[in-house]
Structure 1
Amino acid sequence: MPATRTKAQRGWNPCNGGIPLPVPWMALYCVLHIWYASAVRRFLSILLAGICGIAPLGVNAQADFMQQAKNVSWQQNDATVQRTPPETCSATTPAPVMPGPNISAYAAGRENAFAAAYAATHCHDYVGALPLYRKALSDYPDDPRALILTAEAAAKANQTEEAITLFQRALARESNFTWSTRIALMRAYMSLNRWEDFESERADTRRAALNGDRTLSQKDGYPIDTLRTDTTFVRVIEFAKLHGVSHTRDRFLLYGEKDACTGYIPYIDLESNDIDQESFAKRYPDKAAAGMQSYSLESYLTPNAHGTLKIYPDGEPDYQVLRADVLDALAGHVPVLHPAGQPCIADAGRANP
C-alpha cells in the first residue's frame, strides 16, 4: 500500500488537497484550472496537426464515412443550420490533406480531389459545385464516400434523378452503414412522387435493420421523414420491429408542440394493437396467416390524453396515405400545449415512451 503524501508533497493545487482556500475561491480555482488544462491540450493538438499535416478524420475510415454522411444528410434537412450569405462568403480551397497515422494515402488523395467542390459547397453554390463533384468522382467512381457526396450535391442542385442513381450506386457498394444513404434516397423518391420506389426502398431499409445494420436501430427506430406545417415541426421515426406495448410502426414526434415545462413531446403513432387483431384475423384469415395485421392512427397530445384518429382495417397503409392522414389531422387539431411566457404548472407529467 503506497504511503499517504502530505499536503506539501501533494503540491499547492487546492483541487488535490493542497493549500486550503475558502470554498467559493476553491471552486472558482478548480473550474479555471480544468478549463486551462483543456484549452492547452486543444491548442497543442491543433498545433501538432498543423505541423504534421494530419487531418483529424478518425482512425476508422468506414466509421468516418458514416459520420460525415450523416452530417451531410442532417444539414440538408435541418432548418436550423446557419448559412453564410453567398455575397459575403469566400470559397477558399482548404489546405491539402497529408497522409499520416490517422488517414491513409488513398483517403487523403480522395479528400484533396474534392477540395474545390468542398469550397464551393461551403458557400452553398450547389449548382456551381456539382461539376466539381462530378470531376472528382470520375477519379473515385466506386468509392462510397465519393458517391454519396456527389449525390448530396446533385440533390441540392435539384438534379434529383442524378442523385437517385448515385445513391443507388453507393448502396450497392456499402452495406454496413446505410442509414443516411437510404433516408436520402427515400426523400428523393418522395420529392418526385415516386411512391412505389419509396415503398420498395422502405421495405429494403426495414430488412437491413432486421439484418443488423448498425445505423438502423431496431430498439430506437430511425428517422425517415421530416414534416413542417404552419404551426409545428414533425420528425417521423420508423420501427423495423414493432415497438412497445402498442406495437408502434411509425411515430410522428411533434417537436413544435413540445411542452417547455415538462419536456413532453406530443406524438401520433401508427399502431397495431393486439386488441384489434382478432377481428382482423376473422376478416382476413390469409393475411393474418401471412403475418399481416390491422393498424390504427393514435394521438398522444398530452401525457394523459389519447385518441384514435383513424383505423386501417385492411392492414398497414402505404406511407403516402399515412403521411396525408397525419398532415390532415395536424391541420387544426393540435393545440398549443404551453404558450410561451406562461408560468409552468408544478406537474412533471410523464416522459415520452
Structure 2
Amino acid sequence: MGYKVAVAGATGNVGREMLSILDERGFPADEVVALASRRSQGTEVAFGDKTLKVQALDTYDFSTTDICLMSAGGDISKQWSPKIGAQGCVVIDNSSAWRYDAEVPLVVPEVNAEAVRGFTKKYIIANPNCSTAQLVVALKPLHDHATIKRVVVSTYQSVSGAGKEGMDELFSQSRAVFVSDPVEAKKFTKRIAFNVIPHIDTFMEDGSTKEEWKVMAETKKMLDPKIKVTCTAVRVPVFIGHSEAVNIEFEKPITAEEARDILRSSPGCLVVDKRENGGYITPHEAAGEDATYISRIREDITVENGLNLWVVADNLRKGAALNAVQIAELLVNRKLLGAKKAA
C-alpha cells in the first residue's frame, strides 16, 4: 500500500515543481494533497494529468499523512513543522528554518544519505539551500578522493531563487527597457534586468550576506566541518538555473583528468567538458533537468593541488523540489517509514 503525501506551499514555484516531480518519478503515493494558506484555498494545481484543489494548511489533519513536503517559507515552517511532526508525519522542509538545528538532519541524498536516519528526533528533515545542494553534489566525490582543504565559490543565481516575484520583476523590467518605460525595482535592491547584483539575503556583521553564510555552514554540516569555505553570491538576470565558479584546494594531488573521471561516475553528476566553443553547460540548458552539470574542469596552478570547476543546476529542481522528493524516496527505500494506512 502506498503513502499519503502533502505538499505545503503547493501554489508557489517550488511547490508546483514538487507536485510535478512526485508524478514524474512515480512516487508510491496513494494520495497527494495540495496545501497552502487560506487565501489560496480552492485554487487548482496540476498533479500529472490530475487537478488538485488546494486545502488550507492551518485546518488540515496530518494524523493520517505520512510525509509533508514543506515549501511555505521559514516562518510558516517554524510554526507548523513541529506540530506536523508531533502527529507522526515526517516534514521535509525546503526553508532555512531547521537547517542549522543539531537535531535535524540536513540531507542531499548523493552526499550524506545516512544522515536521514536522524529524522526521528523531531520528525523533520531539512533541504539545503539551492546553491549549496548543487555544490556539494560536485564536491563530495572529489573530497572522498583527495580531501578538500578550502573552497572559494562565486554563485550566479537566477531570479527564480527569489520566487515568482523575482521572475516577474525580471520580465517586467526587461520589457520596460525595450519600450523605454521607467524601470522599477521592488523585489530586488537594484535593477536586475541586464544587470547583476552582488547581494542575496540580508547583510551580516562581517560583511557577508546570509546567502553566503548558508553555503559555508551547510557545506560544513553535510560534507566536513574542517573544510574552509568562502562565497560571493550574485543575482543574475536568468530565469531558472544557478551557476557556480568553484575553486578547490586539496590536501592530496589530483589532476583535472582524474577529477573528470571521478565526476563522470558519481551519482547526480553529469560532466560536459569539451575544450571547444559551446563545450560546456549554461543555466538555459540545465533548466528542467535533474542532473548537476560540471564543466570547465581544469587545474589551478596558483596553489598546490588546486582545481577549478563550473557547476550548473536547475535551482527549482535539484536545488529544492527534486532533492526533497529524493529524501522522501530515501525514507521509503530504506524502509524507515511505514505507511499509516498499512499500519
TM-score w.r.t. structure 1 length?
A: 0.28
Higher relative contact order (CA closer than 8 Å, sequence separation 6+): 2
More strand by share: 2
Q: Which has the larger radius of gyration?
A: 1
Give the structure-2-normalised TM-score: 0.29
The answer to which structure has the higher helix fraction is 1
